[in-house]
């Protein structure tokens, strides 16, 4: 079929003077409008991304597969059918991975423990001491003269990541978590009786500028026995001076409720006796944040822990620069310490990807598992008991989810 455009052209010639600039301008505007209309039509009807979730973000479709792990257990692995391309789909994918892990936290925790060679009793809440004893004999080669520096006989620390791995003449149960925050995070045992000097010396040696304490009491100072004290060893003395102390929380309304204490500490070291008036005294200043009333081996209210973690993250870059570290401890340095380190590591990675616009790589279940297991591996972690219970694991995931939701 042949279309005759001559009548239309004749009509245009009769009514428009094409020699006038105004006519040409009108023609250009019409062409632009037609082009814009065609582009809208193309995007509406020919877009490759046809799936959506409530709120307008892209839906991430997951497929599951199983892989064998030590002990015959299976690990649930999720893979994305499509990669997120914007912040909404990125956040949706992150939340999906977290929701699935939280929904099945008991099973997930037991599988992770099996993968890290932890013997778990039925229910997934208690650690089998005999299994840990066998693991210690197989995996650890701790010298006899170092055993006494550990608070608990079944909680030692890996040699490969020990803070003094390059100086065998020194030792303290503290380890670099090499896959968390570029390896600037150290998980440490709280100072046991008689070893506060070694703990404080470790803080100086690793250039700690941010000390995070996730322990139970403040008044008894079971886990912070070094505050406002002087310790001596081999002719040297270290004095701990609390420059200031701030409290924030519900301490007066509920004495058992967790609350946050913030301190600035100065560690003064010199040959005995220490005198702060001496200009030659070695001084090391650091900030300390403590979450008080978090019982050992137990979880804590997710909202309170979330507030604590957000505060730490917001001040991390302020206090920790190049060559400076964050040290975190509780009692043994594995339970509450592991929870905090896990949360910090995952949020650190999430925040970097979000800020850099790396939306094609959201948090996945595999990534969540890898951060967890990294704290339990001899070459990257502290001890195969990091995050001691399934409830602690669930609490950590809930805090991470709250942080991701805050960015939506």
Least confident of 117-121, 186-190, 213-217, 231-235: 117-121
- What torsion, rounded to 10 degrees, do the Cα atoms 233, 237, 238, 240 define? 120
354 within 8 A of 407, measured Cβ to Cβ: yes
Q: What pLDDT is stored for residue 345 in this prediction?
A: 95
Q: What pLDDT is stored for residue 173 in this prediction?
A: 93
pLDDT per residue as tens digits for the range 279-322: 677 889 999 999 988 877 788 889 999 999 999 999 998 888 88
Q: What pLDDT is stored for residue 215 in this prediction?
A: 80
Least confident of 126-135, 254-263, 363-372: 126-135
Q: What span, in angstroms and rounded, lies between the C-alpha atoms of 84 and 93?
A: 8
pLDDT per residue as tens digits for the range 321-367: 888 999 999 988 999 999 999 999 999 999 999 999 999 999 999 99
Q: What pLDDT is stored for residue 275 in this prediction?
A: 60
Nearest Cα neighbor of 218 from 166, 262, 186 is: 262
Q: What pLDDT is stored for residue 67 in this prediction?
A: 37
DSSP codes joined into one string, 135-198:
HHHHH----HHHHTTSSBTTB---STTBTTTT-TT---SEEE-TTSGGGTEEEEPPPPTT-HHH
Q: Rounded mean pLDDT of 140-167?
A: 78
96 within 8 A of 79, measured Cβ to Cβ: no
Least confident of 13-22, 71-80, 351-360: 71-80
User: Helix 87-103 vs helix 390-406: angle between axes, to the nearest 10 degrees?
Assistant: 160
Residues above pLDDT 70, as percent of the chain: 67
Give the end-to-end CA distance of the chain in Å, rounded to a whole number. Answer: 55
Q: Rounded mean pLDDT of 160-178?
A: 92
Which domains, ranges and CATH numbers included, belong to the chain? Answer: 103-406 (3.90.190.10)
Indicate yes or no: pTM above 0.85.
no
Pairwise pLDDT comparison (223 vs 64), residue with the higher score: 223
| Mean of the per-residue pLDDT values of the chain | 78
Q: Rounded mean pLDDT of 144-173?
A: 83
Q: Rounded mean pLDDT of 152-170?
A: 86
Which regions of 20-157 does DSSP assign to beta strands (E)?
A: 62-68, 74-80
User: Of 145-149, 213-217, 271-275, 286-290, which one has max mean pLDDT?
Assistant: 286-290
- Region of 106 (left: φ > 0; alpha: ψ -120 to 50; beta: rest) is alpha
Residue 71 in this model has a pLDDT that exceeds 50 = no
**Cα–Cα distance list, 152 to 130, 222, 331, 357 (Å):** 14, 15, 9, 44
Q: What span, in angstroms and rounded, lies between the C-alpha atoms of 300 and 23?
A: 74
Q: What is residue 381's three-state secondary structure? A: coil
Q: Residue 44 has which token pair?
A: 């509406």
pLDDT per residue as tens digits for the range 100-151: 999 999 999 999 988 886 443 333 345 565 666 555 655 555 665 676 788 8
Q: What pLDDT is stored for residue 319 in this prediction?
A: 86
């Amino acid at each position: 079929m042949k279309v005759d455009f001559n009548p239309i052209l004749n009509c245009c010639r009769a009514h428009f003077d094409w020699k006038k600039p105004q006519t040409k301008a009108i023609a250009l505007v019409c062409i632009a409008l037609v082009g814009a209309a065609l582009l809208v039509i193309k995007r509406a009807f020919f877009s490759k991304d046809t799936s959506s979730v409530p709120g307008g973000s892209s839906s991430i479709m997951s497929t599951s597969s199983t892989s064998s792990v030590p002990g015959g257990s299976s690990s649930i692995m999720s893979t994305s059918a499509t990669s997120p391309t914007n912040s909404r789909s990125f956040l949706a994918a992150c939340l999906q991975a977290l929701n699935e892990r939280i929904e099945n936290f008991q099973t997930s925790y037991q599988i992770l423990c099996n993968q890290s060679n932890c013997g778990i009793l039925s229910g997934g809440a208690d650690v089998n001491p005999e299994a840990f004893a066998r693991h210690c004999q197989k995996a650890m080669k701790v010298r006899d003269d170092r055993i006494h520096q550990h608070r608990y006989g079944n909680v030692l620390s890996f040699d490969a990541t020990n803070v003094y791995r390059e100086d065998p003449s020194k030792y303290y149960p503290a380890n670099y978590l090499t896959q968390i925050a570029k390896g600037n995070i150290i998980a440490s045992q709280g100072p046991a009786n008689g070893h506060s000097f070694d703990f404080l010396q470790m803080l100086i040696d690793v250039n700690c500028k941010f000390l995070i304490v996730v322990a139970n009491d403040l008044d008894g100072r079971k886990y912070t026995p070094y505050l406002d004290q002087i310790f001596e060893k081999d002719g040297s003395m270290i004095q701990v001076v609390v420059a200031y102390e701030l409290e924030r929380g519900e301490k007066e309304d509920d004495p058992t409720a967790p609350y946050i204490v913030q301190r600035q500490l100065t560690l003064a070291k010199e040959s005995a006796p220490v005198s702060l008036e001496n200009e030659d005294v070695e001084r090391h200043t650091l900030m300390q944040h403590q979450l008080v009333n978090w019982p050992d081996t137990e979880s804590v209210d997710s909202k309170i822990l979330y507030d604590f973690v957000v505060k730490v993250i917001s001040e991390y870059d302020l206090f920790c620069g190049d060559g400076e570290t964050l040290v975190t401890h509780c009692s043994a340095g594995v339970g509450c310490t592991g929870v905090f380190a896990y949360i910090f590591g995952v949020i650190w990675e999430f925040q970097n990807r979000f800020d850099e616009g790396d939306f094609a790589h959201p948090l996945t279940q595999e990534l969540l598992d890898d951060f967890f297991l990294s704290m339990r591996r001899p070459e990257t972690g502290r001890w195969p008991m990091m995050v001691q219970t399934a409830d602690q694991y669930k609490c950590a995931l809930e805090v991470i989810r709250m942080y991701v939701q805050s960015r939506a």
